[in-house]
Structure 1
Amino acid sequence: MWSSLTASFSKLGLRNAAVAGPSVASPVRSLHMTSAARPSLRTTPASPTSQLGSARHKSNLAPRRTKYRKAHKITIPFNTGGSTKGTTVQEGVYGIRLLAPARLSAKQLVAAETALKRKLKVVKGAQVFLRVFPDIPVCIKGNETRMGKGKGSFEYWACRANMGKVIFEIGGPVEIRPEVAKEALRLASAKLPVPTEFVTTASAPRLGNKVLQPAAASSATDGPDSTPAPTSS
C-alpha cells in the first residue's frame, strides 16, 4: 500500500515538473547568480538635505552654507562715515525704509513678503524685491541658565539692518498706482518690529536721522547772493 502511494506521488511530481517547463529555475541555480544580477551592498552617502528630512525651498530664507556655525551678538552700528549705500530705491519704483536700526528675523521677513504679495496679487506682473537676506545665526540659551557652558543652541536666522536701509521694493514691467503701492507696503511694514517710511525713486538718500538734499536744491534755498557795496575812491 505504501509503495503504491509513493509511486503515485513521484509520478505526480514528475508530471508537474514537465508542465512547468524550463522557465522555472531550480533553487540550486538561484544561488549562483551573476555579478550583474546580485544586489549591490555598496550604499551611496546620503545628502545633507536627505539627512535632515527636508529640502531648502525658495520660500525658506536661510543660507545654504556658512563659514562659521555661530556668530557674535553685536550692536548694530550707526552710519557716521557719510555712506548712503542702500538707502534709495534701486530695483523697483516704491519701497519702505527703516527709521531705526533693527535685527530682522527670517520669519518676520517672510511674513512681510507674504502680506505684500497678497495685496499685489491683483496687479498682474508686479514684482517684489527683497534687499536684505538673513544669514546671521542667532543662538539662544534657556531661561534661568547659569553663565558659561557655551553660547547656546541655534534658534533662527536673522539679518542686521542699519537706519535708512531699504528693505522691500516693488515694481516690474507694469505700472502700479501710488495708493495701491502705499497700502501694500503699509501691510508689509506692520509685520516688522521697527518703524518705516514710504519712499520712491525720487526720494533723497538718508544718512541716519538726516535726509540729504541734492546740491542744487540746497543752493537754491540759500537765497540771493549778497553783493558788496561799492567803495568810494
Structure 2
Amino acid sequence: MALMPKRVKHRKQQRGRIKGEAQRGNTIAYGDFGLQATEAGYVTARTIEASRIAIMQYIRGEGKLYIRIFPHKPVTARPLETRMGKGKGDPDHWVAVVRPGTVLFEVLGVSKDAAKDCFARVAYKLPVKVRLLEKTPGPLQS
C-alpha cells in the first residue's frame, strides 16, 4: 500500500511553486549516511516505496533505514479522453515536495561502500538529482 496521509483538511490542493532551498530536514539526523536532493521536484509515494524496497533488499537486515520524506500533497488528474472544462479532476496520487538540500533517506549500521552502492541503486529510481552525505561528528560528540 502506498504512503498517504490518514486524514486531510482539504481533498485538493493547488500546485504552487518550489522556491528556495530546504530550511529543515537538510542534515543527517538518525543514520550514518544520507541521500540528499540537489534539485527541486516531486517524489511520488510509489517512488518512495520502490526506493524503500531497493534499500531493504540491499542491506538485508544488517542496518536500519530511515525515510525522511512523506507524501502530503495530492495531485489531481482528469479522466482520459475528457473535454476541457467541467472543473478539476479527482485526487490521483500523492507526492512529497522536495527542495534542494532535503535529506530523503538515511541508513545506519552499514559500511561506506555498502551505503554508496545502495544509494546508487536508489538514485536511479528518483526523479531528482541526489548526492551521498556522510555524518560528521559535531563539537560535542567524540
- TM-score using structure 1 length: 0.55
Q: Structure 1 residue runs of 4+, over 2 Å off?
A: 142-148
CA distance in 2, matches of 1:167, 1:193: 12
- The residue correspondences of 1:1-233 to structure 2 (distance < 5 A) are 60-79=2-21, 84-121=23-60, 123-124=61-62, 126-143=63-80, 145-171=82-108, 175-202=109-136
Flag the structure with higher helix content.
Answer: 1
8 A Cα contact 2:37 2:131, kept in partner: yes
Higher relative contact order by CA 8 Å / sep ≥ 6: 1 or 2? 2
What SS is found at the alignment partner of 1:167?
strand
The runs of 5 or more residues in structure 2 that have no matched partner are 138-142
CA distance in 1, matches of 2:87, 2:19: 26
Percent identity of equivalent pairs: 28
Q: CA deviation at 1:60?
A: 3.3
Deviation string 1:73-94 (CA, Å, 9 cap, x unpaired) is 1221123xxx642111111110
CA distance in 1, matches of 2:84, 2:97: 26
- TM-score using structure 2 length: 0.88
The runs of 5 or more residues in structure 1 that have no matched partner are 1-58, 204-233
Q: CA deviation at 1:200?
A: 1.0
Bigger radius of gyration, 1 or 2?
1
Flag the structure with higher strand content.
Answer: 2
Task: Specify the code of the residue in structure 2 equivalent to 1:148.
Answer: G
